[in-house]
Structure 1
Amino acid sequence: MRNAVNDKIYTVEEYIQYELKSDRRHEFINGQLFEMPGEKDINNQMAGLIYILLIQFLKSKGYQIYNHDVKVAIPDGRKFYYPDVFATKEEKSPDNQYIKYKPEIIVEVVSESTQVTDYVDKYIDYIKIASLRYYIIIEPETVLVTVYEKDETGNWFARKYTNINDAVKLEKLQTEFLVKDIYSA
C-alpha cells in the first residue's frame, strides 16, 4: 500500500504546479500526492523496448507515444497516473501538454511495489477511459504479458502470453510483436 506524501489535499491546478517544480514524480489520487518509486534497470529497459516497438508500429499511423513523464487523466478528474508507456492520437494543445485524456494503449511494467496497484487499482481506473482499447501489464521477472482488451460491446477480457515465442496481437491497432522482443533487455 502506498502512502501519501503529506496530509494536504491538492487541487488539480496545485498538483500540476507542484509537479512542474518537483524533482520527483507524483501520481495524483483524490487530491493526494503519491511519490513514484524508483525502478529496477530491467523495468526501465523493458519499458524502453515497448516504447521503441510502439514508435516503430504506431507512429506512422498517427499516434504519439509517451513514456514515464506524461500523465494520463482518469475521467473523473480526481486521478492522474504516469504510465510506463502509452499511445494516443489525441491532438496536442496548450491544455494537454502535461496530461493526456485519450490514450488508446497503456503499458505498465510491474515491480514488487506496484504489482497490486497495476493489476487492481490502475486496471479499475484505466478501463474507465473511453478511448482505451488495450491495457498491457508486463512482468519483468518471469515471462508473462497480460493484455486486457476492450471488445465491441465495451467489455474487457484478458489474454496472457507466457511463451517467449508468442506473438502479441493488437488487432484493433493492426499491430503485433513477439514476446521475446520485450524480454531481450
Structure 2
Amino acid sequence: MSPEAYLLGEGNSSVKHEYRDGQIYAMAGASNAHVLIAVNFATALRTHLRGKGCLTFASDTKVHIEAINAYYYPDVIITCDERDRAFNNFVRYPCLIVEVLSDTTEAFDRGDKFADYRQLESLQEYVLVSQKRMSVDVFRRNQADQWVLTPYTNSAEIQLASVASQSAIATLYEDVALMGNSD
C-alpha cells in the first residue's frame, strides 16, 4: 500500500493502523491503566509547556518517519518545531515520544519501533512507561549521538531534558491501578 492510500484510508477508518513500508497493522484497544498513564503524562507536559511554543499530542496523532516510510501512533508526542504546524494529522519533527508499554507491544516498542524512531533527527528523548509497576525508562540522545538510558522508579523525579521538565513519577501514575498483566 502506498503512503497516500494509507493516509486516505486512515482518515476514514474507525480502527487505527500503523504503517511500515507498505504494510499496515491494526492497533488493539488499550487498558484503562494505559489510557490514564498517557493522559497523566500528556497533561503534565501540556501544562509545563503552555506558552512555550511546543505542541503536545496524545494517541490520535501520527509520527511520520520519512526516512523509512513509516507512520506510528505514539501515546504522547511533543514537538517544538514550527514545521510541524503545517501538517494536519501527523508530525515529522518530534523532540519527545512517550510509549506506554503493554504485554503485546513491549518487545516491539523497545526493539524495532525504537530503532525506527531513532531515524528521526529531531528526536531527543524516547520514554517507555510500564503499567505493571512504577517504572519509567528515559532514553536520551547525547552529544555523541548515542542513546543513554536513565531508569526511574518509585518516588523518583523524572527529568526530561528535551523540554526542561521534571515531574514526580507518582503524578504520572495518579489514579492508576497497576496491573500484573497489561494487555
Question: Which position in structure 1 is the counterpart of 2:169?
Answer: 179
Q: CA separation in 1, counterparts of 2:49 and 2:163?
A: 8
* 1:9-24 to 2 correspondences below 5 Å: 10-24=1-15
Q: Which has the higher contact order (CA 8 A, sep 6+)?
A: 2
Question: Which position in structure 1 is the counterpart of 2:44?
Answer: 53
Question: Which position in structure 1 is the counterpart of 2:78?
Answer: 87
54, 65, 77: which is aligned to 2:56? 65
Question: Which position in structure 2 is the counterpart of 1:4?
Answer: none
SS of the aligned residue for 1:145 comes to strand
105, 116, 121: which is aligned to 1:130? 121
Q: CA separation in 2, counterparts of 1:59 and 1:151?
A: 26
Question: Which position in structure 1 is the counterpart of 2:159?
Answer: 169
SS of the aligned residue for 1:148 comes to strand
Please give the TM-score of this superposition, normalised by the length of structure 1. 0.90
Paired residues of 1:90 and 1:100 also in contact (CA < 8 A): no
SS of the aligned residue for 1:49 comes to helix
Q: CA deviation at 1:171?
A: 2.7
Q: CA deviation at 1:99?
A: 1.6
Question: Which position in structure 2 is the counterpart of 1:97?
Answer: 88
Runs of at least 4 residues off by over 3 Å? none
SS of the aligned residue for 2:81 comes to coil
Q: CA separation in 1, counterparts of 2:96 and 2:113?
A: 13
What is the aligned length?
173
What's the RMSD between the two structures over aligned residues?
1.1
Structure 1, unaligned stretches of length 5 or more?
A: 1-9
- The code of the aligned residue for 1:108 comes to E
* 1:20-62 residue CA offsets vs partner (Å, 9 max, x unmatched): 1110100001101100111100000000000101101123221
Question: Which position in structure 2 is the counterpart of 1:139?
Answer: 130
Please give the TM-score of this superposition, normalised by the length of structure 2. 0.91
